[in-house]
Structure 1
Amino acid sequence: MLLCRTAAVSQAVVRWGSAARRRGAVLHPALSVTCRRCESVSSTEEKAQPADVGSSQGQYRDSVLLPSTDFPMKLTGQKLLDRELEIQRVCGFAELYSWQRERKAKKEFCLHDGPPYANGDPHVGHALNKILKDIRNRFEMLRGRQVHYVPGWDCHGLPIELKALGELGPSGLSALEIRQKARQFAEGAIARQRAAFQRWGVMADWDKCYYTFDGAYEAAQLKVFQEMHSMGLIYQDFKPVFWSPSSRTALAEAELEYHPEHVSKAIYATFPLDKLPAKLASEAEDLKGISVLVWTTQPWTIPANQAVCYMPNAQYSVLKRADSGQLLLVATERTAALAALLGTELESKATLTGSELEGGVCKHPTIPGKEVPLLPANHVTMGKGTGLVHTAPAHGMEDYSVASHFKLSVDCMVDEEGRFTELAGPELAGLYAMDEGTDKVISILKACGALVREEPCVHSYPYDWRTKKPVIIRPSQQWFINTASLKDKAKEVLQKVRVTPESARGSLLAMLDKRTYWCISRQRSWGVPIPVFYHKDTGEALINKHTVSHVSALFKEKGSDCWWELPLESLLPPEVLKKSKAGPVEDYVRGEDVLDIWFDSGTSWAASRSPGPISMWRARTRSEAGFSPRCSPAWPSLVVHGFVVSEKGMKMSKSLGNVVDPQVVINGGTVGPTALQSARDSISKLRNTLRFLLGNLQGFDPRTQAVDPKEMRYLDQYMLHLLRDYSIKVTDAYGGFDAARVIRVLQAFVNRDLSNFYFSIIKDRLYCEPEDSAGRRSCQTVLEEVLDGLTQSETLFRSGWIKSSSVWRRPGLVEAVEGACAIRDSFLAAIPGKNAAQYDLTVAIEPGLLFELMESLQEKPTSTCSQLTELMMSARTTLTSSLPRDLPSDALLASGNFLINLEGGVIREDSAYSIAAVPTCAARCPRCRRYTSATPDCLCPRCQSALSGAA
């Protein structure tokens, strides 16, 4: 995560030169998080220096142009923290957002901030989310666009309410008192989170944030609510919902966590067939006392049973138990499993299809006189149980669908605390349904002979994600959004939205298919009140555009506390009652439910378009989900990112207690012993690369000393080609919101193209050629361009995006260098573990295109200082059309092929080459340490010329 913050924004790092070449005093803070010495080529400078300063040859040390920079190898501890704060101050991070808002720009980029939740201190999840957004915003700003980014906070909801109340609970506190405490808690969390986001350097309009508890925001939210209600998308109904007895409120599916190791007391129970289906009655007259066998993991729901469901297309059998003679009706394909479970043989006495069970009626096992019909249902499966499903419409979603279709009653026998009501009978009333109530139901079944078997069942079960306790399904009068009617249009619109990553689109589409309705009402105090009034006598809801518009205007002016503060006459004035064609105000009471907080954040796009202190611009991109009542995309792009996980791979969660404070990481800590080690190593390599660039640009003035690309050596031109390729790839990765690909592209360029390839070749030229030589200046010009490509300029984030030129791509250039690299690879493979500088190399290529390309790198047949020799890193290179016949016995031979492809395939030639590597007879130069001297004590011709020129 930190590497994403560091390497991904490294194109805007402030360069740090020597005292004589100040380009900026500091690095970007994230780049200096960890600074260990890297083991790559560029970090082993001392080992590669051409002069051995510890030997007698050290007399030439001062004549070698070694890198010089005060950019430190690493910063740690307090120095690191001080440096990061200095960066923010010197580079004007606090003014950066206002600066870019005031500059002229032809295009704008608006990122809508899906709000974080104001229920605690900042954690690494916040860091991931905010930093990813910040990376994108700065990228767009560097491209010349005007960025609109107004941060916000999600401020309502049960977690805040519970934390605000602490151990006190709601007992004795009014709704307004609870809201006051919750608001104070949220404001404190917001202050801590905002301070952390600013400490991380996030660029935003911190003076005009939006908060879901602001009156203007709540008013905009109610407008969306009203629009959806007018369209028939919001309705009130009495139907099963996920209910949390531990927090005494309805829950949305998104507020559930499924416990994979939940243990239930599963039972097999019988429902005596009182009225046989017609076919079974006619064909099995001798079969008496048949019972339907059902299986359930929730025995407490048996008293609420209204039917037993079967699969119409399945086959069913009447089975006789060998041990007791009992007749059981079950699915035929479950026979073997049940026989093993019951420990007895089961003899088939009759078979029939599911559809032939129509008309059958059972007796309820625990309620005398109650009849239970056999009904068809598509949700019946054969994976477990008996193929016959106990159906309690009050306590199951599929069960409720069956009840709705067949007009069954929906009797709820469990209250808001999860206790049985008096409707369940005197034996059960007052017992917790999932605890002692379950035991009592099993006891009753056993007493009446209906219990066949009891067993523990480990399975996945929904828990309240806040209290970490099991939920139940029970019917309740709630407000719902009819997502089924929105599904087709929403899916159509979603196909027009750019989703990143694309894989997330499938999950969103699947979610739309799965959820037919969304419960949006909550039985709490801290939230936006649902603007509804109820008739005292009939319970009928009074809600329309007139009532909601009036309440919305009050919320905008006074905030939603006025729902409890104002008298009912102010909430329902005479003119509103008249327009609503309603009776006198004394006939009504205000509703007590609040909106689900997901509705709060889901409508933030509407509030962010409102005038005033809230962001006024339509979002171009959103980093979290939301909805639009008219099913038009509120934004053209949607970015989805996952959770932060611990080193053990578990999702970090405040409720699990495994979150990490980013301040710990900033101060040198981590999320685990090895979690950030890879990022540390990558940052170290990046720092060392920057250090090499800065050190070798000491004294270089690009305004007067830069070399035109056309006059550069081929290797240098090729490096500019790689730089252009890098800039294209990294720009594309940023444009695709693919931070991981940004990192991969950057690391490949820094480690492979620069450190392992270019730097290892050019060190000799940089260190040992005359300071003003064309070859050295050519190299320095490239280093300057690379440094600009990685860091831009000293005015952090205010200089614009990477600028690369198409002139860096010359026909034949890439083929010449890459052809030479292919030969170089063969050469190095022929001398494994040996020093290439100790060999004379002969390259034999038959006349043709490849030979001509190699001639462009070496005009003379033999050379110790040609561009080809530099690429080979050999002592001497000879270019010829065929290998000599009189090669010495210790010559190492190799061969290969290189495919040349020019002008888009118009020119193609597969050329063969051969090489011979022979240990050189030359002596090592005491200054440059290349094997190009006549004797050990004599400088090579190149060094003699360099020193004489310097003198």
Structure 2
Amino acid sequence: MLRGLRPRGRGAAAVAAARSLWRPPRPADRLGWLWTARRLPVRPVSGASEQQSSPKSSKYRDSVLLPQTSFPMKLLGRQQPDTELEIQQKCGFSELYSWQRERKAKTEFCLHDGPPYANGDPHIGHALNKILKDIANRFHMMRGSKVHFVPGWDCHGLPIETKVLSELGGKAQTLSAMEIRKKARAFAEAAIERQKSAFARWGVMADWNKCYHTFDAEYEAKQLRIFYQMYDKGLVYRSYKPVYWSPSSRTALAEAELEYNPEHVSRSVYVKFPLMEPPPKLASLIDGSSPVSFLVWTTQPWTIPANQAVCYMPESKYAVVKCSTSGALYVLGADKAAAVASALDTTFETLSTFSGVDLENGTCSHPLIPSKVSPLLPATHVTMAKGTGLVHTAPAHGMEDYSVASQHGLPVDCLVDEGGMFTSAAGPELQNKSVLEEGTDVVIKMLQTANSLLKEEQLVHSYPYDWRTKKPVVIRASKQWFINIASIKATAKELLKAVKFIPGAALNGMVDMMDRRPYWCISRQRVWGVPIPVFHHKTKDEYLINSQTIEHIVSLVEQHGSDVWWTLPPEQLLPQEVLSQVGGPDALEYVPGQDILDIWFDSGTSWSCVLPGTEQRADVYLEGKDQLGGWFQSSLLTSVAARKKAPFKTVIVHGFTLGEKGEKMSKSLGNVINPDAVINGGQDQSKEPPYGADVLRWWVAESNVFTEVTIGPSALAAAKDDISKLRNTLRFLLGNVTGFNPETDSVPVKNMYVIDQYMLHLLQDFATKVTDSYKQYDFGKVVRLLKAFYTRELSNFYFSIIKDRLYCENEKDPRRRSCQTALVEILDVLVRSFAPILPHLAEEVFQHIPYVKEPQSVFRTGWIKTSSIWKKPGLEEAVESACAMRDSFLGSIPGKNAAEYEVIIVIEPGLLFEIMEMLQAEETSSTSQLNELMMASQSTLLAQEPRERIADGIELTGTFLINLEGGDIREESSYKVIVVPTTKAKCPRCWKHTAESSETLCPRCAEVIGGK
């Protein structure tokens, strides 16, 4: 027995469940005939006629009101990108941002643009980011907010400087600082113009003449003010500390400038540190006649010459073991004995165990310098996860090592220069040798000679590389400028609790990255950037910076830009009152420092230069997940340091773009997607056709951007197919409202056909869900709602039902006008719902609305407007119950034309029967609302079964639960559907089987024609 039971709840989920029961997804074999069940004379919507096969029907051809519109079904080849360019021009895309800034608005929406780096062509990652931002901005603008969005670019830094120098080759060595800066600026400016042009072509709304650049004089001046604010609070300091150092770039790097190579190969070693002075507990456990060594493992043998200590875990167990091969005694973590013995191809006999705290005050000797003491020290960073449970400590070459040195007063001697070579302090054997190459080899040979090496082996592991040169970095101590993160971290984490993160897990990711960051090195040893505004004493380890020097420098930078640091003589960089105190112009004791600010400090202070008002706080920051440790974090830290406030209310984090199979994009794999080729087509347009910008935007919106985002030919083709289906829906809507004036021809809602009222009911629900999804920045859900609505609700259901009424009724018949009233509302809501995603298509549709004499921009006329009177839950009972019977009927005649059958519906007296009577007052009708839904020749509604069994009839039964007023009215009713082949002939005009003969018109068509 077929059942059409309604769920008991009245929530949205219950309604959705009910609708899935009364109109299940139709199998593919049924879709075809549902579309063609009404075989009306079909013409292209443009108006060009297509002759019907029957000569008898041709005389009625012009009486059928087929859709008329100049809106094209397809834009082929170059038509799509060319049409988009025309629309951008005609609809004022370039003026839209300025227009909305000038209008009166109660609310302001600020999305702060994180600056892309100005060193290359626009790529698909740019498209993902900028289009996501634009969808959000357009939505908020249409909702009535004044949008604040200033595009920006990150223009300084090592990558640009490196590219410029590499292009110059040998000439680079002879260039002055100003020559390098001039060429770097020109390089960045050219990249900005290429990227800006692409962003505008993608339809991104902005005032492209008013962008921000980190090399703008005003921007640099404000950045220097923030620097001094933080310095004045004691948050910026100069210190000799280990930092990530790139020998290939000869500069310090921030963590955000590192990338990790998982295939890096290190030469790891097991090394003996001979016991020199045993602590009391250990002395009692060993036989004084046998030498004992502490066993250490390291992946960086080049750091051993700089060793100052060996660290242990105080709370862990350690063991004295005897090697079965050599008889030597070693100390190592008790839990590591078996694994280390295996690695050394031997076995260990455990002689005794003791606690780590018992190693306190012990010492051992340096493995290369027997007379040098390496004390045993407790440390929290030691683990038993790998190695021996004892860690070799070189304070100049490790962050944790430096922390131990600070705690215990150890020397921090750096034996490595800026080029990654051992200095003379490392000794003649090592001097001028690269620590990562030949230097490592020599250290290992020296360990062998000293009989301190137990084993060397290759280890493949993840290792930090310079993000631009793609070469390994080292950790080395040098004098740098730092921000004291420790003193602002607690405040920053507390403020993050009030920030909304999308997705929510991104908050933990950002906090974890901040926790792992001991300090922030903000100085770089380059020339393309903003100078750190300090003066260094010529002979003493002193520097000069105060409010007077800063005000003077900021004033110069505001007028001339940061070039003044290199173009003006030192005496002009100091104010007169300070100059007189430090030797005057002729005997100046100080020289300008040669370090520049980290570009993450550059971009991280953008809030102070770009955000509006005294609050200077953005509603949204939206960037890729790499910015959790980059721009999001540098923006937060500088803002908290300067004013104890987060610069953002919401942080949205998207994934990276990958190839179609989830692989990383690379030229060698041939899977790099060029946004320009997507829009304008590639060299071989049979493989890379021109799709236009809207396909790119649809792909962005549809993707689950909160994970990695895949793109490839099939994803783009699918996006194009989705938009093509949407175009067909829009064309049907436009074509069928021709000749309709909403102001004079609209039918009041209460007088509309039930099915038309029902569509307005669904339309309001759709509009609410779409609006909520945009508010949550869930553009993927917007696309899913859109696709479901225009395919399932409209094309597959509503349009197939109403074609007869639209095409064959009298033009001004209230029944036709009722339908057109609904179509006008559907068109308006539908276009506005996708306008933020597909702005070109939305504007194109607005140019073709027949009842609008002077088309306005969809973006200048606001968001979706619905009416509360559209919401009529009771209508669901009428339509859904009828649809349950309709599905029984259509399911019984698969592949056949519904118009060739009559339907007899038998319902016991009660609420369901009364509801059906709303749709058909008379017993039998071929023109009732019920029959329109059934798409049959005619429908008969009976309160009891026919007295005689109907020959050739198919009988189907079911039940339907009426549930009204939140469950106050509940009634389950049985129904029977009897399907009978019609005895009527096909009308030569409407092709419904409702005529007495094939030579004569059906009564309805006769009345329409007679009226004409």
Scaled by the length of structure 2, the TM-score of the pair is: 0.85
Q: Is the 8 A contact 1:842 1:883 kept in 2?
A: no
Give the equivalent residue in structure 2 for 1:712: 752
Once the two structures are TM-superposed, the CA of residue 656 in structure 1 deviates from its matched residue by: 11
- Distance in 1 (alpha carbons) for counterparts of 2:342 and 2:890: 70
Determine helix, strand or coil for the equivalent of 1:77.
coil
Residue identity in the other structure for 2:500: R
Q: CA 1:897–1:499 in 2, change beyond 3 Å: closer, same or farther?
A: farther
Give the equivalent residue in structure 2 for 1:665: 678
Give the equivalent residue in structure 1 for 2:357: 355
Give the equivalent residue in structure 1 for 2:191: 189
- Distance in 1 (alpha carbons) for counterparts of 2:548 and 2:663: 49
Q: CA 1:295–1:912 in 2, change beyond 3 Å: closer, same or farther?
A: farther
Residue identity in the other structure for 2:646: P
Q: Is the 8 A contact 1:107 1:145 kept in 2?
A: yes
* Bigger mean CA offset, 736-745 vs 263-272: 736-745
Q: Tell me if 1:222 matches 2:224.
A: yes
Determine helix, strand or coil for the equivalent of 1:737.
coil
Residue identity in the other structure for 1:668: G
Once the two structures are TM-superposed, the CA of residue 832 in structure 1 deviates from its matched residue by: 4.5
Give the equivalent residue in structure 1 for 2:494: 492
Give the equivalent residue in structure 1 for 2:558: 556
* Bigger mean CA offset, 791-800 vs 757-766: 791-800
Determine helix, strand or coil for the equivalent of 1:512.
helix
Determine helix, strand or coil for the equivalent of 2:654.
coil
Once the two structures are TM-superposed, the CA of residue 806 in structure 1 deviates from its matched residue by: 0.8
Q: CA 1:837–1:221 in 2, change beyond 3 Å: closer, same or farther?
A: same
Determine helix, strand or coil for the equivalent of 2:828.
helix
Give the equivalent residue in structure 2 for 1:504: 506
Give the equivalent residue in structure 2 for 1:133: 133
CA deviation string 1:155-176 (max 9, x = no partner): 1111111222233364111111
Give the equivalent residue in structure 2 for 1:690: 730
User: What residue ranges of structure 2 are gaps of 5+ in the alignment?
Assistant: 1-27, 43-51, 624-631, 683-687, 689-710, 833-845, 847-854
Q: Is the 8 A contact 1:51 1:926 kept in 2?
A: no
- Distance in 1 (alpha carbons) for counterparts of 2:882 and 2:555: 75
Q: CA 1:589–1:883 in 2, change beyond 3 Å: closer, same or farther?
A: farther
Give the equivalent residue in structure 1 for 2:840: none
Residue identity in the other structure for 2:866: S
* Bigger mean CA offset, 336-345 vs 900-909: 900-909
Q: CA 1:367–1:77 in 2, change beyond 3 Å: closer, same or farther?
A: same
Once the two structures are TM-superposed, the CA of residue 137 in structure 1 deviates from its matched residue by: 2.3
Which one of 593, 612, 634 corresponds to residue 647 of structure 2? 634
Q: Is the 8 A contact 1:493 1:632 kept in 2?
A: yes
Give the equivalent residue in structure 1 for 2:856: 795
Q: Is the 8 A contact 1:569 1:585 kept in 2?
A: no
Give the equivalent residue in structure 2 for 1:15: none
Give the equivalent residue in structure 2 for 1:479: 481
Q: Is the 8 A contact 1:643 1:652 kept in 2?
A: no
Once the two structures are TM-superposed, the CA of residue 456 in structure 1 deviates from its matched residue by: 1.4
Residue identity in the other structure for 2:236: I
Give the equivalent residue in structure 1 for 2:699: none
Which one of 602, 607, 610 corresponds to residue 608 of structure 1? 610
Determine helix, strand or coil for the equivalent of 2:658.
coil
Residue identity in the other structure for 1:852: E
* Bigger mean CA offset, 870-879 vs 508-517: 870-879
CA deviation string 1:102-159 (max 9, x = no partner): 3333333333222222112222222222222222222222223333322222111111
Give the equivalent residue in structure 1 for 2:253: 251
Q: Is the 8 A contact 1:312 1:376 kept in 2?
A: yes
Scaled by the length of structure 1, the TM-score of the pair is: 0.90
Residue identity in the other structure for 1:472: V
Residue identity in the other structure for 1:212: T
Q: Give the alignment's Cα RMSD to 1 decimal.
A: 3.0
* Bigger mean CA offset, 705-714 vs 695-704: 695-704
- Distance in 2 (alpha carbons) for counterparts of 1:470 and 1:741: 43
- Distance in 1 (alpha carbons) for counterparts of 2:601 and 2:35: 59
Determine helix, strand or coil for the equivalent of 1:879.
strand
Once the two structures are TM-superposed, the CA of residue 447 in structure 1 deviates from its matched residue by: 2.0
User: What residue ranges of structure 1 are gaps of 5+ in the alignment?
Assistant: 1-37
Equivalence map 1:438-453=2 (5 Å): 438-453=440-455
Q: CA 1:362–1:51 in 2, change beyond 3 Å: closer, same or farther?
A: same
* Bigger mean CA offset, 686-695 vs 904-913: 904-913
Determine helix, strand or coil for the equivalent of 1:182.
helix
Once the two structures are TM-superposed, the CA of residue 602 in structure 1 deviates from its matched residue by: 0.9
Once the two structures are TM-superposed, the CA of residue 66 in structure 1 deviates from its matched residue by: 2.1
Q: Tell me if 1:65 matches 2:78.
A: no
Determine helix, strand or coil for the equivalent of 1:147.
strand
Q: Is the 8 A contact 1:306 1:391 kept in 2?
A: yes
Once the two structures are TM-superposed, the CA of residue 429 in structure 1 deviates from its matched residue by: 1.0
Q: Tell me if 1:646 matches 2:659.
A: yes
Q: Tell me if 1:51 matches 2:53.
A: no
- Distance in 2 (alpha carbons) for counterparts of 1:653 and 1:209: 31
- Distance in 1 (alpha carbons) for counterparts of 2:184 and 2:210: 22
- Distance in 2 (alpha carbons) for counterparts of 1:912 and 1:583: 104
- Distance in 2 (alpha carbons) for counterparts of 1:446 and 1:892: 96
CA deviation string 1:799-857 (max 9, x = no partner): 11111111111351233223333343444445455544444334444444333322222
Once the two structures are TM-superposed, the CA of residue 342 in structure 1 deviates from its matched residue by: 2.6
Equivalence map 1:371-410=2 (5 Å): 371-410=373-412
Q: CA 1:473–1:925 in 2, change beyond 3 Å: closer, same or farther?
A: same
Equivalence map 1:83-98=2 (5 Å): 83-98=83-98
Q: CA 1:610–1:547 in 2, change beyond 3 Å: closer, same or farther?
A: farther
Give the equivalent residue in structure 2 for 1:862: 924
Which one of 675, 699, 715 corresponds to residue 675 of structure 1? 715
Q: Tell me if 1:756 matches 2:796.
A: yes
CA deviation string 1:8-53 (max 9, x = no partner): xxxxxxxxxxxxxxxxxxxxxxxxxxxxxx9997999788541382
Q: CA 1:846–1:311 in 2, change beyond 3 Å: closer, same or farther?
A: farther
Q: CA 1:839–1:315 in 2, change beyond 3 Å: closer, same or farther?
A: farther
CA deviation string 1:458-494 (max 9, x = no partner): 1111111111111111111111111221112112222
- Distance in 1 (alpha carbons) for counterparts of 2:363 and 2:209: 69
Give the equivalent residue in structure 1 for 2:913: 851
Give the equivalent residue in structure 1 for 2:418: 416
Give the equivalent residue in structure 2 for 1:21: none
Residue identity in the other structure for 1:87: I
Identity, in percent, stands at 60
Q: CA 1:846–1:455 in 2, change beyond 3 Å: closer, same or farther?
A: farther
- Distance in 2 (alpha carbons) for counterparts of 1:306 and 1:445: 16
Q: Is the 8 A contact 2:582 2:590 kept in 1?
A: no
Counting matched residue pairs gives: 910
Give the equivalent residue in structure 1 for 2:620: 621
Q: Is the 8 A contact 1:720 1:782 kept in 2?
A: yes
* Bigger mean CA offset, 332-341 vs 843-852: 843-852
- Distance in 2 (alpha carbons) for counterparts of 1:214 and 1:864: 75
- Distance in 2 (alpha carbons) for counterparts of 1:261 and 1:157: 27
- Distance in 1 (alpha carbons) for counterparts of 2:531 and 2:280: 54
Give the equivalent residue in structure 2 for 1:775: 815
Q: Tell me if 1:944 matches 2:1009.
A: no
Once the two structures are TM-superposed, the CA of residue 87 in structure 1 deviates from its matched residue by: 0.8
Once the two structures are TM-superposed, the CA of residue 620 in structure 1 deviates from its matched residue by: 3.7
Residue identity in the other structure for 2:371: G
Determine helix, strand or coil for the equivalent of 1:127.
helix
Q: Is the 8 A contact 1:220 1:610 kept in 2?
A: no
Once the two structures are TM-superposed, the CA of residue 716 in structure 1 deviates from its matched residue by: 0.6
Residue identity in the other structure for 2:131: I
Determine helix, strand or coil for the equivalent of 2:271.
strand
Q: Is the 8 A contact 2:112 2:611 kept in 1?
A: no
Q: Is the 8 A contact 2:261 2:465 kept in 1?
A: yes
Q: CA 1:945–1:342 in 2, change beyond 3 Å: closer, same or farther?
A: same
CA deviation string 1:642-687 (max 9, x = no partner): 3333334345589999754322111135663223122111111111
- Distance in 2 (alpha carbons) for counterparts of 1:517 and 1:437: 29
Determine helix, strand or coil for the equivalent of 2:167.
coil
Once the two structures are TM-superposed, the CA of residue 884 in structure 1 deviates from its matched residue by: 5.2
- Distance in 2 (alpha carbons) for counterparts of 1:285 and 1:48: 103
Which one of 924, 936, 941 corresponds to residue 879 of structure 1? 941
Once the two structures are TM-superposed, the CA of residue 889 in structure 1 deviates from its matched residue by: 7.5
Determine helix, strand or coil for the equivalent of 1:461.
strand
Give the equivalent residue in structure 1 for 2:235: 233
- Distance in 2 (alpha carbons) for counterparts of 1:43 and 1:365: 87
Give the equivalent residue in structure 2 for 1:20: none
Which one of 316, 329, 332 corresponds to residue 330 of structure 1? 332
Residue identity in the other structure for 2:212: Y
